[in-house]
Amino acid sequence: MEPSQGPNPDLLILTFPSGSSFTRWDRFGVIDRELPFIRGLAAAVPRILFLSIDGKHDARIAKELSIEIGGTPAKEGQPQIESIAERHPDANLGANRTLEERVLARVGAARNIVIQTMQFDDGGIASRLLSPIRRIGRNVALVARGSFIDSRVLSSTHGPHHFKTLSLGATEQQICSAAQIVVGSSESMIDELCWKNGISPRRARIIAQHVPANPFKAEREPGLLVTSGRFNGKCHQFRGAIEAVGALSPEQRSSVRLEILGDGPDGHDLQAYAESLGVKTIITRGPTHAEIQATLARASVYIQTEGSRRQSYTVLQAMAAGCPVIVTDLPEYNGLIENGTTGIRVNSEARGFSFAIDCLLSDPMFQTMLGDAARDRITQRCSIDRTLRKMLACYRDAILAAPQRGEIIEKRAS
């Protein structure tokens, strides 16, 4: 693809997914993970505005980030990084002001504006802002980016005809139809989005999730198996990991322990379930980003039994830490996890995972080979610099494709 000749945006508006915010990022140490990427964006974009639905401390955190990065637009005197949480009063405009009004008050002299979702389900924020900003004569483009298809994941737990699945599907169709460019993390994801929502592949991009290098240096703990996810519903992915370890021979099982990392309200019977299968299990709820990285640095094997059609970020983190991974065979890992080279992909049955675990634990050299190759692959495909270059090019392409004032939107966006 030819490099874009368009301008970088004067203002980048990033919308948090529903339920996420700077406040939540701060609680789980995600800001430390994302800071290098934000710093890279700030080096190319004069102003960045983050939007969330409910982030009590978002404005303060954004101000601290702006000071840490050290950027201030010379002409406008505004902070380089700002944040608005819709459900909390505006320090500048006061209470009872709509999100649209609050965003318009911060547009300033920006002429080329890009709105980008961090995940397709952002509570509808991005879609609401397009018309108000265009009405004041600014060139605004929408980039719909997601690391997975929300409705696809929900379908695996609730079913394809559940009202939540259908509602999310409608949200995805709305945001993808309005976007100048749709960004996904894998070829299979983009294929499905284009087919499902009638998107031309020319309006789609595949851009990997950025994964920072793991700073922790530790000896691998023999027999330490790690898995992660959300403690939601029946916690099928955790039960699958426990059953996989439980299917090991008694001798092998006695020498391993499973550490489960996650956040969420459910799964309080998992410890008892593991004990019933003779699996030594440690459950850690609400780990920070640094704690996850430290655990992955010392783990012998990371396993992800989840069958939802998404590319797990923690799998990529494990690979970046040089930890060999065993995952359910999903097309979302094509190009990243090659069987027997950069990881192991098996069917979703417990015995498939159990056999792979036994193979790795019985061959330390194979463990090391897979881990080193996995780290190299993530460094090559998911580096922050590579993702930044692709995202900035995506913004420039979106600005060129955005409808100018008075144009018919459908002609430019199709």
338 Cβ contact list (under 8 Å, min separation 6): none
Instruction: State the pLDDT confidence band at 4, using cuts at 50, 70 and 90.
Output: low
382/386 Cα distance (integer angstroms): 7
Does residue 328 surpass a pLDDT of 60? yes
Summarize pLDDT for 224-234 with one digit per residue, the tens: 999 999 998 89
Which of these ranges, 24-38, 162-176, 315-329, has the smallest mean pLDDT?
Answer: 162-176
Q: Which is nearest to 260 in space by CA: 278, 245, 277, 276?
A: 245
Does residue 208 surpass a pLDDT of 70? yes
Q: How far is CA 268 from the centre of its chain?
A: 26
Question: What does pLDDT average to over the chain?
Answer: 92
Q: Which long-range contacts (CB under 8 A, 24 or more apart) does 77-82 make?
A: 78/47, 78/106, 78/108, 80/42, 80/46, 80/47, 80/48, 81/38, 81/42, 81/47, 81/48, 81/49, 81/50, 82/47, 82/48, 82/49, 82/50, 82/106
- Please give the pLDDT value at position 412: 43
First to last CA, the chain: 18
306 Cβ contact list (under 8 Å, min separation 6): 229, 236, 237, 240, 312, 328
Contact criterion met (CB below 8 Å) for 147 and 311: yes
Instruction: State the pLDDT confidence band at 408, using cuts at 50, 70 and 90.
Output: very low
Does residue 2 surpass a pLDDT of 90? no
Length of the chain: 414
178/167 Cα distance (integer angstroms): 17
CA atoms in the 13 A half-sphere facing the CB of 88: 16
Average pLDDT on 348-377 reads: 96
Contact criterion met (CB below 8 Å) for 153 and 310: yes
Instruction: State the pLDDT confidence band at 216, using cuts at 50, 70 and 90.
Output: very high
Contact criterion met (CB below 8 Å) for 315 and 229: no
Does residue 414 surpass a pLDDT of 60? no
- Please give the pLDDT value at position 154: 85
Does residue 210 surpass a pLDDT of 60? yes
Domains of the chain listed by start with CATH number = 11-210+383-413 (3.40.50.2000), 224-381 (3.40.50.2000)
Does residue 209 surpass a pLDDT of 70? yes
Does residue 72 surpass a pLDDT of 70? no
Contact criterion met (CB below 8 Å) for 226 and 262: no
Does residue 203 surpass a pLDDT of 60? yes
How many other CB atoms are there within 10 angstroms of residue 276's CB atom? 11
Contact criterion met (CB below 8 Å) for 7 and 112: yes
Contact criterion met (CB below 8 Å) for 52 and 313: no
Q: Which is nearest to 209 in space by CA: 82, 124, 315, 324?
A: 315
- Per cent of the chain over pLDDT 90 is 84
Does residue 31 surpass a pLDDT of 80? yes
Does residue 255 surpass a pLDDT of 90? yes
- Per cent of the chain over pLDDT 70 is 94
Tokens of 375: 């780290």
Which of these ranges, 74-78, 93-97, 116-120, has the smallest mean pLDDT?
Answer: 74-78
Does residue 337 surpass a pLDDT of 90? yes
For the four alpha carbons of 343, 346, 352 and 354, in that order, the dihedral sign comes to: positive
Average pLDDT on 147-163 reads: 87
Does residue 27 surpass a pLDDT of 50? yes
Does residue 111 surpass a pLDDT of 70? yes
How many other CB atoms are there within 10 angstroms of residue 190's CB atom? 20
319/131 Cα distance (integer angstroms): 42
For the four alpha carbons of 401, 402, 404 and 407, in that order, the dihedral sign comes to: positive
- Please give the pLDDT value at position 26: 96
Does residue 358 surpass a pLDDT of 50? yes
pTM: 0.92
Instruction: State the pLDDT confidence band at 94, using cuts at 50, 70 and 90.
Output: confident
- Please give the pLDDT value at position 25: 97
- Please give the pLDDT value at position 75: 44
Instruction: State the pLDDT confidence band at 391, using cuts at 50, 70 and 90.
Output: very high
Does residue 71 surpass a pLDDT of 80? no
